[in-house]
């Protein structure tokens, strides 16, 4: 794991399967906590983006899980965590790493760029 400094925040990144993954947890710490990630993931536009991203990049993507989440998006009761998304859809755009130091939610570079607005 390596780190890069962005606007005074240390952001961890990993290379996994020859792809760059950036810590969403570290990005969220700059402005709050992991609840920002959960709020971002339950947004219908975000959900559609990450679902389409997975359909384009992941031959093992479980699109039925995606459709289930998509029908629930926008409801006040809808709740989605990265781990729930990964388990239900076999997503490769995210991974969750347990641990107090170096743990958190990581997303592929192009997905993380959406989070950061870049």
Q: What is the pLDDT at residue 102?
A: 66
pLDDT in tens, the chain (118 residues): 677 767 777 888 888 888 889 888 888 887 777 788 888 888 889 999 999 999 999 999 999 999 999 999 888 888 898 999 999 999 999 998 877 666 789 999 888 887 765 5
pTM of the full predicted structure?
Answer: 0.83
Phi, psi of 32 (to 5 degrees): 170, -120
Tokens at residue 49, please?
């983006």
Separation of alpha carbons 93 and 101, rounded Å: 22
Separation of alpha carbons 18 and 89, rounded Å: 21
Q: Where are the domains of the chain?
A: 2-116
> For residue 115, which of 17, 3, 11 has the smallest C-alpha distance?
11
Q: What is the pLDDT at residue 49?
A: 92
Q: Does residue 53 sit in helix, strand or coil?
A: helix
Q: What is the pLDDT at residue 90?
A: 96
DSSP-based helix, strand, coil % in the chain, nearest 5: 45, 25, 30
């Amino acid at each position: 794991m390596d780190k890069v400094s962005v606007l005074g925040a240390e952001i961890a990144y990993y290379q996994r399967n020859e792809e760059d993954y950036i810590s969403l947890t570290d990005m969220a710490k700059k402005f709050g906590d992991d609840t920002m990630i959960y709020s971002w993931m339950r947004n219908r536009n975000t959900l559609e983006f990450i679902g389409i991203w997975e359909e384009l990049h992941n031959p093992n993507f479980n699109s039925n899980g995606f459709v289930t989440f998509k029908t629930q998006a926008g409801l006040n009761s809808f709740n989605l965590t990265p781990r729930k998304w990964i388990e239900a859809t076999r997503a490769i755009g995210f991974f969750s790493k347990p641990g107090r130091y170096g743990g958190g939610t990581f997303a592929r570079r192009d997905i993380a760029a959406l989070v950061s607005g870049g």
